[in-house]
Amino acid sequence: MQSTPSDIVRTRLRRWFAPIVDEPGWRSNLVDEQAERLLNWGMAQVEQTAVHSQRLPDEDANPLLEKDSMAVRLIMAGVNDLIGTIGKPPEFDLVDDTMTRVLKNLRWLTNQPLRPENLRRVSQFNQAREIEDRDAAFQYLLELIQTDAA
């Protein structure tokens, strides 16, 4: 029996996104609503890659899906880590280092330069972090990582 494109997308999404969901490091600092929104973002990213690669054989699609799912996992963990810094005394460059990793992984995921508004989102996150507004900080991070897939 021949697989349909939608079957291929579902199978690839399940294979490459399920390990992200099962890993605890992406949500330990998030409330349920934030975790759900971040999970939906991540799934949209991996699904976009699965859709774009649906006509490719597995041996050609798997490296693309592996790269993008790894980038998504790292971005999600970075968002979680950044939210975890709120309300804690700043450690030496921890926030900047984590933000740099998130931005580098975003570039890796999208294969594009960062958008001009990204610097504004970073600044907005830092301001929300300073006043310990976790909801606003999370919202700015979510806006920061938006791509054409989400």
pLDDT tens digits, 95-123: 899 999 999 999 999 999 988 889 899 99
**Structural domains counted in the chain:** 1
In a domain, 149, yes or no: no
Instruction: Please give the Cα distance from 20 to 123 (Å, whole number).
Output: 28
26-44 pLDDT, tens per residue? 999 999 999 999 999 999 9
Stated pTM of the model: 0.91
Residue 148 in tokens: 């054409």
In a domain, 150, yes or no: no
Q: What is the residue range of 124's domain?
A: 5-144
In a domain, 46, yes or no: yes
Q: What type of residue sits at position 19? A: P
In a domain, 99, yes or no: yes
